[in-house]
Structure 1
């Protein structure tokens, strides 16, 4: 997500023409608001993009937090999305997190 934020903020593109074209196409789904990267969602207007450390916090908070109920991976990913957060590997990370949880 760093190349996306860098392109939106500074207009910096990769040197490879193929990667530059791909980055331009992908960035149409993103925007910067007050220095934070957001993905334009389908059902929710904007989803804040998280880095891997923050993503682990979000998974932990939903799965084990005050309102947590130890849900499965897909349901966990859905709940994090409803909280307004996003990262590219959210579904794989949620599944792996739920499988590693002690019952």
Structure 2
């Protein structure tokens, strides 16, 4: 018995009461729910997804907050608290905090040294 080389994709319709339906309606038609709390939640989820993708997504650039803001603006995103959200997102990134430009050695007092040949040029 030989198998056919065609790809089979099964698609199931989404029920109207399902939790994904508001997201699908927003992404397909730009339609938001009437409840302002749900509206902000959907927009917030989209903003978090955009920040995550730009910060540590395909390219894994892990740029700082201002650079992340700049990248999102180039990609066509904008929301009122965008700069603040980008700064907070970069601060929460565990990989960025681990590899940050910090001195990881405890401070030690300086020890002055005397030159062995004071006027040697």
1:85 paired with 2:77, answer yes
Q: RCO greater where, 1 or 2, for CA within 8 Å and sep 6 or more?
A: 1
Greater helix proportion: 1
1:63 paired with 2:55, answer yes
Could you say what secondary structure the match of 1:85 adopts?
coil
Q: Provide the rounded CA distance (Å) in 1 between the counterparts of 2:60 and 2:68.
A: 10
2:66 aligned residue: 74
The CA RMSD over aligned residues, in Å, is: 2.1
Q: Provide the rounded CA distance (Å) in 1 between the counterparts of 2:70 and 2:60.
A: 13
Q: How far does residue 52 in structure 1 lie from its aligned partner after superposition?
A: 1.1
Larger Rg: 2
TM-score (norm 2): 0.44
- What is the aligned counterpart of 1:94 among 79, 86, 97? 86
Task: Report the number of matched residues.
Answer: 58
**Structure 2, unpaired ranges of 5+:** 1-28, 31-41, 96-121
Q: Provide the rounded CA distance (Å) in 1 between the counterparts of 2:51 and 2:69.
A: 8
Q: Conserved in 2, the CA contact under 8 Å of 1:76 and 1:94?
A: yes
2:45 aligned residue: 53
